[in-house]
Amino acid sequence: MRRVIIAGNWKMNGTIVETENLIGALLAGESENDKATVVVCPPFVSLSRASELLNGTHIAWGGQDMSEHVKGAYTGEISAEMLLTVGATYVIVGHSERRQYHAETDDLVNAKAKYALASGLIPIICVGEMLEEREADRTEEVVGTQVMGTLSGFSAADLSKIVIAYEPVWAIGTGKTATPEMAEAVHSFIRKKAAAVDAAAAEEIPILYGGSVKPDNAERLLAQPNIDGALIGGASLKADDFIAIIRAV
């Protein structure tokens, strides 16, 4: 039985006070759910406060990115160790906004994911095609290359500790969602690609869908056999919506 994960990526939204309010609303509104692991990824500046508020609750927390380097002269970067010191257990790597606006490549995402694993963090590795790639019928080629590139050098033991998020770029923040059938087809394809590394471990990887997941489409997406949860942007900033999505599991 694969783990179901509902993860919120808050992106560059919220001051520390707003983080406190959102976490307060999540804790007040949602009791423990044995069907899903719930994770929130606040901005780095808020992580320390988030850890104080979430410590001992059923909600885990993580970073939105991390450096592939241990430490040193990398202005603006955050290391795995820094995430660990605020109790983070997850880290998103290779989000399409990092790939698009910071030119992150599969090699870099691979290095980040490997270093996250070596540090004891669970990487949520994001992949997904752009609109023009889908329209040119290149989804499998693009996503397949991303999966093989970001998982390069991984062992079966590594695969058993990762999470993959399929996020079609054209569906992120646009209100356009892949239909459950479209998403399921890509999720099943991703699992087959990961099976080239290790078939048994690939079966157990939680593969999350991301891209305009909302309370009204979550249930149908999450009902698909290879959709093991969701990575949520916009709707994770509204406590009621995020809670409704968790309840849809």
Active centre residues (catalytic):
95, 167
Residue 45 amino acid letter: V
Q: Is 206 in the site for ligand PEP (CB under 6 A)?
A: no
Residue nearest to ligand PEP according to CB distances in the complex: 233
Which residue among 36, 54, 80, 172 contacts ligand PEP (CB under 6 A)?
A: 172
Stretch that binds ligand PEP, among 21-29, 83-91, 165-173, 183-191 (CB under 6 A): 165-173
Q: Is 167 in the site for ligand PEP (CB under 6 A)?
A: yes
Give the contacts of 199 (CB within 8 A, at least 6 positions apart): none
Which residue among 50, 54, 233, 242 contacts ligand PEP (CB under 6 A)?
A: 233
Q: How far apart are the C-alpha atoms of 227 and 229, rounded to whole Å? A: 6
Q: Are strands 207-210 and 122-127 parallel, antiparallel or unpaired?
A: unpaired
Binding mask 48-87 for ligand PEP (x = CB under 6 A): ----------------------------------------
Q: Is 231 in the site for ligand PEP (CB under 6 A)?
A: yes
Binding mask 103-122 for ligand PEP (x = CB under 6 A): --------------------
| Least distance between ligand PEP and beta carbon 232 (Å) | 5
Which residue among 63, 206, 210, 229 contacts ligand PEP (CB under 6 A)?
A: 210
Helices vs strands, H then E, count in the chain? 12, 8
DSSP one-letter string for 79-146: -HHHHHHTT--EEEES-HHHHHHS---HHHHHHHHHHHHHHT-EEEEEE---HHHHHTT-HHHHHHHH
The footprint of ligand PEP on this chain (CB under 6 A) covers a number of residues equal to 13
Which residue among 212, 217, 224, 226 contacts ligand PEP (CB under 6 A)?
A: 212
Q: How far apart are the C-alpha atoms of 232 and 34, rounded to whole Å? A: 19
Q: Is 94 in the site for ligand PEP (CB under 6 A)?
A: no
Q: What is the dihedral of CA 31, 160, 100, 79, to 10 degrees?
A: 80
Residues 136-155, interacting with ligand PEP (CB under 6 A): none
| Least distance between ligand PEP and beta carbon 170 (Å) | 10
Q: How far apart are the C-alpha atoms of 131 and 139, rounded to whole Å? A: 9
